[in-house]
Structure 1
């Protein structure tokens, strides 16, 4: 039998190949691990950027939708009298909280506005674009005629056969959007610059450049010095993405020896706008620096001593996965865990609610509740105690829901519960039980809780919309003496709109003396039927129609306009007493006053001052308040 020869060169080759293979595999694994962490950080960064951009994107999208809805009502505006159109424009301006003004420009650029102005905007770029059928958001420019720096949002007006007959223009102070763009990226002040760009990368809006001279200012993003370190290929990719609706991405660059992360996120409803934020990389991904350094050190050490590198490799893999797990947990905790209560944030609530609503055989309601006058509780007991109460309420809710339900503290003292139910009586019973449980836990004071319930009929409806409708129901029971709840009905939405209309008109009605005082006589029954006094009753007379006090008095008590109205009535009564003085010397007039006044220590002094200004004796006036209100404020009255 021939002897097998030992060939050390073969063994050496095998060892070299094994080492090379091991190094290759180790390199690939280390690279993939590092890439995974970087990808996680990028996803985290993108998620935070999306959260920060939602406010301004939603604001602009809402304004666009409002203008689109208005333009849809103008398809035949050429046949409508101009004074009617001006009235509609004024009503729209009063209902919009963000826009400074709204006007219409016809196909020739001539303007119709709520103010009496003569102006033609056909030379404006936003007019030329929008008259071609585009929805446009303009760069800041001087407005005519007041000369302010404003942004214009424009939408076309379509007539018959989809023919464009004009445009609707919303005017917005540039500071409204620049302040929104100055939001903090990481929770640290002055850590990022925000912009709104068009498809070509031109700046439409910008924040206040809080990063200062660290980042060069630019009119066009693609010509900025900030991109000097970015390859032409990557820039071309970003250009392509800017031409797509709703596209997003991340770029990393170096400027003045400082690393920056640039994140962009396109508008889904406006096809030529993108939100862009610039932040220093160490703000976004500082947690990766030490890990990358350790990987490089361990890799060099692996080249020197194979055995130690193998051990180190095992340790680094374990360490890497632990760091990756911790990073993911940290990201999830920031986005999904409320730092105050330890339970779900709004984002987590939305995700969980959508999953639960997929089960069509289950009936769910969205319950919204909060603590009445929680600010007063904070002021009286301190913010630490207020935070303790919020945590206590969250713990109590958590103990009183099932595994097939979820809840979240949305903000401040506002909570949402996605609640299973069979009928309304079951919801009512659970709310009463929850009120009792919370009152049992909070011993320092008796909380007054207001609940609103929205029965979910369409599981595809947005969670935000569901919450808004539950909030509307909640508002109908707020500021009562005891905890209460209400179920949402369509009439509540109409009532809210009616209340908004009344609030828009109340001050003007007071100035125009539309609130009239009527006097219900009081006579003695001693046989002579003598007039002994009268009760002053207020009625709102508008356009010849009498508005019932039940429609405006409760609203005025909630928004405290009742204070102005009561003093106005008192003034009118004094005038009438002075007129009747020669005919009825000892006439006693009763005046109803709201309980709101009982919290004012200067109330009596103010009443006396009104009497004195008309030279009327206070003995001729009798103030009436409800018995329950008097007992509540007995100390003040005494």
Structure 2
């Protein structure tokens, strides 16, 4: 029995014995000495607090309750005595343990648990920090892709809109001005130096603009070579001063160049009087003013622009109904072949007649170019041309090639030529009777030039021909003539306004000779005088078009003109 109550824990330093409920030792360990003093614990006076604890212990033992008592031995050692009631014989198991041993073991357990808890906290924390780092790196990458301009640097158009909304919301109305700046002749830079140099130019401009911005202002590159700025200025003179400073800085690179090349911009601005307007509306108003820029200072949006915008809104609203009602009329302007002095072709032009009012192309063509309606209008007019040719073929009348203008918008889609071919096939119109006129404005970057090249090849595969309209109106026309396999060029009317000057005559003569050598037909447009006509005959120009022969006339009236023209020609002969 003594062996059974020998201590198995507390590193062998604990002692146990069995006593009755009065504290008399019944069974003790082999070393009885530590318990011989229990009588003094139970029956002698001592520390009042200890006496109170002992009295509580004696009461617990009589009532078979468990408990713990802490007291000091004679030698001053702190001891812990636990008592546990036993079911048999009204006995109690007493266990005596040094207090410092309990504290030591508790400290060991606490230290172990502390390390475990720290580990449990630290490991997830490290994982969480690693996750946060990955998340923020990923977010920064997404923001860079979503909100940064990869070509010009700085924020992109989407981020610019968010920044503008933030700035406008924080200040009273009339604090800011939206500025639109468009780089002129950017296609020349791309053509002469390549797209890489063009992109470098855009980056240089953007960096320069950003240097001139204050903390509460913003700038971005819009589409292509278009830049937008939100300046904290509300007076036109202050806006113009800021823009002049920026443009001077942009062109400062010329100080180290032998040949000066100025970067010039169209400039338009809108004082933001209503900060609650959509950012797109605010930008559009600055762009509307930008398009009115013809040199000199910045153009500011005003009430007249509002009236025109309302007019444009009305035209947009009327467009679909006008198509369905056949309000767009086919007009033709004849081209006269100089060798045979007879009609050699015609150009298809559009007029819009609404409720007895004639709406001219200058009122709606630029608008439809911007909003994309021009594509639907081009298909509609092409169908009208095919109807006209099919009718003349059916009536066995003279037919001649008709040139149709194609908007640059078509070259952003991949199947427009197949649709046009299907329309011509539906009317059984020979493809050689259709010529597509392309303007220089469609060639605005390398990617577009490649697309147009392929489109011209596809036109020829279908059997259509194509011409380059307004040739000479831009500085890159000769380069385009080298790049594209066109069938004809239409010399811009500005060439013929100054034919009294020898240099102007020489330029026209060289262009016609060059075209002839390349196997390209020439059409002189805007011819209004006999003097111009005589000079073009002398140079061997193939065709002329202009008011000297006829203004654009309704398609159904062209037959009457042809009869009169043939009669007059015969009389002259």
Q: TM-score range by the shorter chain?
A: 0.3 to 0.5
Higher RCO (C-alpha 8 Å, min separation 6): 2
Q: What is the TM-score normalised by the length of structure 2?
A: 0.37
Q: What is the TM-score normalised by the length of structure 1?
A: 0.34
